[in-house]
Amino acid sequence: MTETNKKRITLTGLREALPLYSFIRPYRLQYGLGLFFLLGSSLANLAFPKLLGELVNAGNAGNLAENINRIALFLGALLVIQSTFSYFRTVLFVTVTEKTLADLRQYTYNHLIKLPLRFFEQRRVGELNSRISSDISLLQETLTSTLAEFIRQVIIIVGGIGLLLYTSFKLTLFMLAILPAVVVLAVVFGRFIRRFSQKAQAEVAESNTIVEETLQGIQSVKSYTNEFLEIGRYKHKTEAIAQVGMKSGRYRGAFAAFLIFGLFGALVTVIWRGSILLAEGEMAAGDLFSFVLYSGFIGGTIGGMASVFTRIQKFLGATEDLFAIFEEEEEQLHDLSENTSIHPLKGAIRFDKVSFAYPNRPDVDVLNTIDLTIQPNQMVALVGASGAGKSTITALLLRLHDVQKGTILFDEIPNREIPLSELRSQIALVPQDIFLFGGSIRENIAYGNPKATEEKIKQAAQNANAMEFIEPFAEGMDTIVGERGTQLSGGQRQRIAIARALLKNPKILILDEATSALDSKSEQLVQDALKRLMYNRTTIVIAHRLSTIKKADMIFVLENGQLVESGTHEQLMLDKKGVYQKLSQLQKMDNE
């Protein structure tokens, strides 16, 4: 859980929360009606002590049973009104909140999924996710209960004090002289305790992190025989929790004692003073009764106000966080399923003096003035040492990032002039680290083209040499792939990803180390299939094993972000001092 930051309640803070109103706006009538019911039930609430007091007065004065019954009936009617009102208030507020939240959730997700990759690289996605869900549930709490509670509290405190003054001016003044001091002390003390218990919670969260991380990484813990180290770490943490917990218990005990002594003491003093007024005939018994009820009411409400304030502060913090995300600029995407006509690419690619640095490391040029040309339907290879910038080139082709200098052109059209969704829909990438979704194998392959027929899916799996391991599974294509595809081996995952890319039937196919986890035999099979499929499309292959790219039409050799050599295998092998020659020599040595 991430802790939402609190924000001081200021006018600017409140104004910043105003955009939220646009989400409530469609339901403002219902919300207004809810507020009306809230107002009604709060006022009815306020009338109770007064009427109860009158009931006592009537009994005390020996009034006719008829009178007493009338007041009681009136009270009964008021109860009916109040309960009905509070029912409708709750239903209305919940309805508005749920609808608003559904809108807000959709808006947030729609926005988030359209943000550029850069946004996600600068944040931890897990944290982002839990932050957003906790922010949204905070908004939910505020809209359904906190705001209503705050309004009710204001009505009760203001109205209550008014009624107290009306009931007995003298006693109210007496009470106001002692009670605020006690309340202020209680609030300050209460806040101190809350801060302390937050500290305790943080300690608990830290200890949970130890459990979570070590259980998730249990393989590493065991293979490094660090069980006892972790036991010690956890022991240390849990003991710290116990210490903080006990300390917080002592504070809470003291707080309870203070509350009993202070608040009830103040109440006793007020009643003591009231009894004297009663004896002197300045006050009726029923009035004293309703006075005490009001005081309890108001006292309780003031006590509850502190927590409402904290929640409003958190609410302001949460809206601020959320709206900060809303201000991030989206990619210009459009829905291709809606019969839009796509301008087909011919498959020519040209890099014109492209330089690129990742946005989170702007001072390091990962690619430096790259010039390269790929003809339509060529099969080209990118080679180079680890970190040379090969995968970065694939990311730029998909326009997951934009280049800072130079231009990338498709069919001689600068990529910025091609609608983003159109461009991406014609390129398929089998990335270096493959991500499979938690569904079935079929769903994972169909992700390449959700409209594909069963026939096509099977065909793609066949071409990727994946059928060989899918068929023996009891569930076949319906086999559920574990969370992040853990039940499958690295090579099996690669073949599913290749099938997915083939199903997309792209004009440009990029294979980033796509067969690196396969044994030589499977690799050969996949290569053969790919060779057939490379017909009529541009294929870019990245491979460390140079044997797989010997037949490429063109090989580009990268070193430290620069294009140092290019040519066919034969041409590159001629340069005895070349980088390619060196790489090739090293691999020969490995194989011997």
Ligand X SMILES: Nc1ncnc2c1ncn2[C@@H]1O[C@H](COP(=O)(O)OP(=O)(O)OP(=O)(O)O)[C@@H](O)[C@H]1O
What is the Cα–Cα distance from 340 to 337, expressed in whole angstroms? 7
With both helix axes pointing from N to C terminus, report the angle between 285-326 and 265-279 in degrees, rounded to the nearest 10. 150
Rule CB under 6 A: choose which of 168, 214, 392, 444 binds ligand X: 392
- Among ligand X, Mg ion, none, partner that 386 touches (CB below 5 to 8 angstroms by kind): ligand X
What is the Cα–Cα distance from 131 to 112, expressed in whole angstroms? 13
- Among ligand X, Mg ion, none, partner that 282 touches (CB below 5 to 8 angstroms by kind): none
Q: How far is the CB of 435 from ligand X (least distance, A)?
A: 15
Residue 361 in the binding site for ligand X (CB under 6 A)? yes
Q: How far is CA 265 from the centre of its chain?
A: 48
Residue 237 in the binding site for ligand X (CB under 6 A)? no
Rule CB under 6 A: choose which of 56, 163, 379, 388 binds ligand X: 388
What is the Cα–Cα distance from 214 to 221, expressed in whole angstroms? 7
Q: Coil, strand or helix: which one is 98?
A: helix
Rule CB under 6 A: choose which of 121, 127, 471, 478 binds ligand X: 121
Which CB, 117 or 271, lies closer to ligand X?
A: 117
Q: How do beta strands 367-374 and 538-542 pair?
A: unpaired
Alpha helices in 327-433 (DSSP H): 390-397, 420-425
Rule CB under 6 A: choose which of 232, 245, 387, 439 binds ligand X: 387
What is the Cα–Cα distance from 469 to 231, expressed in whole angstroms? 41
With both helix axes pointing from N to C terminus, report the angle between 169-216 and 265-279 in degrees, rounded to the nearest 10. 160
Residue 368 in the binding site for ligand X (CB under 6 A)? no
Residue 337 Cα distances to 86, 111, 418, 502, 572, angstroms: 47, 19, 18, 19, 44
Q: 206 near 237, Cβ under 8 Å?
A: yes
Buried b (16+ CB within 10 A) or exposed e, 557-576: bbeebebebbbebeebeeee
Rule CB under 6 A: choose which of 366, 470, 563, 572 binds ligand X: 366
Number of residues that bind ligand X (CB under 6 A): 14
Q: How far is the CB of 580 from ligand X (least distance, A)?
A: 15
Rule CB under 6 A: choose which of 7, 311, 390, 399 binds ligand X: 390
| End-to-end Cα separation, the chain, in angstroms | 53
- Select from 142-150, 214-222, 314-322, 427-435 the region that touches Mg ion (CB under 5 A): 427-435
Residue 386 in the binding site for ligand X (CB under 6 A)? yes
- Select from 125-133, 337-345, 358-366, 369-377 the region that touches ligand X (CB under 6 A): 358-366
Rule CB under 6 A: choose which of 107, 119, 258, 358 binds ligand X: 358
Which CB, 391 or 539, lies closer to ligand X?
A: 391
- Select from 212-220, 245-253, 263-271, 355-363 the region that touches ligand X (CB under 6 A): 355-363
Task: Give the x-and-dash track for 428-447 against Mg ion (CB under 5 A).
Answer: ----x---------------
Task: Give the x-and-dash track for 410-449 against ligand X (CB under 6 A).
Answer: ----------------------x-----------------
Rule CB under 5 A: choose which of 86, 142, 391, 426 binds Mg ion: 391
Q: 512 near 388, Cβ under 8 Å?
A: no
Residue 411 falls in which region: left (phi positive, over 0), alpha (psi -120 to 50) or beta? left
Residue 398 in the binding site for ligand X (CB under 6 A)? no
- Select from 218-226, 357-365, 406-414, 562-570 the region that touches ligand X (CB under 6 A): 357-365
Q: How far is CA 401 from the centre of its chain?
A: 23
Give the footprint of ligand X on this chain (CB under 6 A).
121, 358, 360-361, 366, 384, 386-392, 432
Give the footprint of Mg ion on this chain (CB under 5 A).
391, 432
